[in-house]
Structure 1
Amino acid sequence: MEGEFTTSDGTKLYKKAWKPESGHISAVLIFLHGFSDHINAYYDFFPTLSSSSFNIAVYGFDQRGWGRSVRKPSECGLTGPTTLVLSDIHDFVHHVASLPETQGKPLFLMGHSMGGGEALCYMLSTSPAFSNRPPIRGLLLEAPYIELDPSEQPSSLVVSAGKLAAMILPHNQMKQKLSATYMSHSAKVRQDWIDDPLCHDTGTLEGLKGLLQRSGDMSALSHGRKVHGLTNKLPCSVWVAHGTSDRVVSPAAAQRLFEVLEAPEGDKVFHPYPDAYHKLHAEPDGVGEQFAKDVASWILAHTAESQGAAQVGT
């Protein structure tokens, strides 16, 4: 089911939902996609979660500047600053939480790559703007962007110049192409990402500055430093998954941040996938399928309706 939702500033963004055919919803998952990606590029992941095996309803949206939320070339990468990115997420969380079919259902938030970093910023933010955030039972992160792999990391000179340019020409567009090599072990998945016109690799200077700043903040937290406006204390349980051979973003940085995150009753899990690449949901040879089962199992184990389903695939 697809359509649009309206943000607090009146912008209409593309949304899509994958709901259990039976109509019985055991849990609700809100998903945030990655950089140069969109919600319809996650293959069988969402249909698997919403299947009769798990009955998890999945809701996602193409973020401002990405996917089908872009209606003209000048909007590519036009995400706005971090305050707007997080405001859009907050609006969507409230939108999903207010739907008739989600009432009384446990709510989970998940993000992949850039979306993982955004989900962390949203959940760790101390801003009064998010004090009315709906209760979220758990946070799931797939290869979250804490730091880029050293091979992808821009130099400090480039970063400094970019920040300066962003102050002068915030909406100026810039290609920021990531290598497809370590996206997935599947040649088809790598080629799909290259060929997909909605994966446009275009950011604005303002958007890229915000992306780097969020990453810098998460990296600082991972080293035990205090960051204004952020805490290391999560209001919910957390599950982090990372391919050990990911060379798009750094597994070591994600592990380092995981170690300093505090969750209620210490309920946090770091799940490494040996030799896997960046798109765990699209890894071949059964890895993607197992990843989906692991996600579903963790979610169901944190609902009142687990009834043993959390053991599926373990």
Structure 2
Amino acid sequence: MSSVNVVEEWITAKDGQKLYTMSWQLSAPRARLLLVHGFGDHCSRYDELARGLVANGIETHGYDQRGWGETGKKDQSFGNNQGYDTALGDINEAIHRIKKDNVPLFVLGHSMGGGLVLNYFARGEHDGVAKITGAIASAPLVTLVEPVHPIKYHSLKLVSMVMPSFGIHVELKASDMSHDEERVEGYKTDPLVHNFTTIGTARGFLEAGNSLLKIGSKISVPILFSHGDADAINLYASSKKVYEMAASSDKEFKTWDGLYHELHNERQPERSQVIEYYSNWINQRIP
């Protein structure tokens, strides 16, 4: 197998938005995978996961979503995804960009990215859906463990209609991400990690998460749900509900006992076990 070649590139979306991308490339991949990162996150934090997938013949591609990572830094538009439909459109464009020849393509979304991926397949509005061989939803955002109080949520909804770009700060504890102290410290000190968003963006991903409990039955792609039962950010039980609703004939729910939110950044040996599990699941579904 050829060694991994990491390529960083700025690409231009159809609407002119510049997006930062990373690709962990192989000369002859058995499969390709699109990574969709989570809230306050960016694709370079998935380097160990990507390299583990590449070691198993799976070329991996990621991009920093609008409002996050290098993309948000370039625009100084921290936490503004420009609308949930726009975020789904970026996934669709990425699929068309990455899908080549007859090499099967998979999608892995984590947390907010997991919610995006689930909605992408549940809504079925984009032509890229037909190009996907399978999907992995890692600790997907369906419902928050600590939901927004109804009074606060309705206030958020009203304000978002008038000032959707108004910035807010979302409290996320670094210690809830992983048991690994080094990874937690890395999260704290990473200059590209931030907890800023806009009212419009926050409303969008909260409503989209809740909608999965109504439209989850429309998911039909082969899919793996992967969730730690000690996740203090996204509710494990809601993830399980969407799994149970999914119409996919090939579906699996993997519970990671005692693990926190970022499974791919957990302590060892569990971190390597997660990467191996994903690699095996993908390789077993390559035609």
TM-score range, shorter chain: over 0.9
Give the equivalent residue in structure 2 for 1:119. Answer: 117
Give the equivalent residue in structure 2 for 1:260. Answer: 245
Selected match of 2:25 from 1, 13, 19: 19
Q: Cα distance, 1:235 vs. partner?
A: 3.7
Q: Cα distance, 1:234 vs. partner?
A: 2.5
Deviations 1:223-261 (A, max 9, x none): xxxxxxx46233420111111111111111111111111
Contact 2:67 2:73 in 1 (8 A): no
Query: Are 2:90 and 1:88 aligned?
Result: yes
Selected match of 1:40 from 44, 59, 62: 44
What residue identity is the alignment partner of 1:9? Answer: D
User: What is the DSSP-based 3-state SS (H/G/I as helix, E as strand, rest coil) of the residue aligned with 1:75?
Assistant: coil
Mapped partners of 2:107, 2:60: distance in 1:
10
Mapped partners of 2:124, 2:54: distance in 1:
33
Q: After TM superposition, which residue ranges in structure 1, 4 or more long, deviate above 6 angstroms? A: none
Contact 1:19 1:55 in 2 (8 A): no
- Seen in structure 2, the aligned counterparts of structure 1 residues 189 and 121 have a Cα distance that, compared at 3 Å, is same
Selected match of 1:30 from 34, 37, 59: 34
Deviations 1:239-296 (A, max 9, x none): 1111111111111111111111111xx2111011111111111111210101000000
Give the equivalent residue in structure 2 for 1:312. Answer: none
- Seen in structure 2, the aligned counterparts of structure 1 residues 145 and 208 have a Cα distance that, compared at 3 Å, is same
Mapped partners of 2:243, 2:43: distance in 1:
26
TM-score by length of 2: 0.94
**When the two structures are aligned, how many residues end up with a matched partner?**
281
Q: Cα distance, 1:71 vs. partner?
A: 3.5
Query: Are 2:46 and 1:61 aligned?
Result: no
Contact 1:28 1:108 in 2 (8 A): yes
Selected match of 1:242 from 217, 221, 227: 227
Mapped partners of 1:16, 1:43: distance in 2:
9
Gaps (5+ residues) in structure 2? 1-6
Contact 2:220 2:246 in 1 (8 A): no
Mapped partners of 1:201, 1:173: distance in 2:
10
User: What is the DSSP-based 3-state SS (H/G/I as helix, E as strand, rest coil) of the residue aligned with 1:178?
Assistant: coil
Gaps (5+ residues) in structure 1? 222-229, 305-314
- Seen in structure 2, the aligned counterparts of structure 1 residues 73 and 84 have a Cα distance that, compared at 3 Å, is closer
User: What is the DSSP-based 3-state SS (H/G/I as helix, E as strand, rest coil) of the residue aligned with 2:203?
Assistant: helix
Q: Cα distance, 1:24 vs. partner?
A: 1.7
TM-score by length of 1: 0.86
Deviations 1:60-105 (A, max 9, x none): 10000000002357410111111111111111111112xxxx3210
Mapped partners of 1:90, 1:55: distance in 2:
23
Contact 1:33 1:39 in 2 (8 A): yes
Query: Are 2:139 and 1:143 aligned?
Result: yes
Q: Cα distance, 1:134 vs. partner?
A: 4.4
- Seen in structure 2, the aligned counterparts of structure 1 residues 63 and 292 have a Cα distance that, compared at 3 Å, is same
Larger fraction in helix: 2
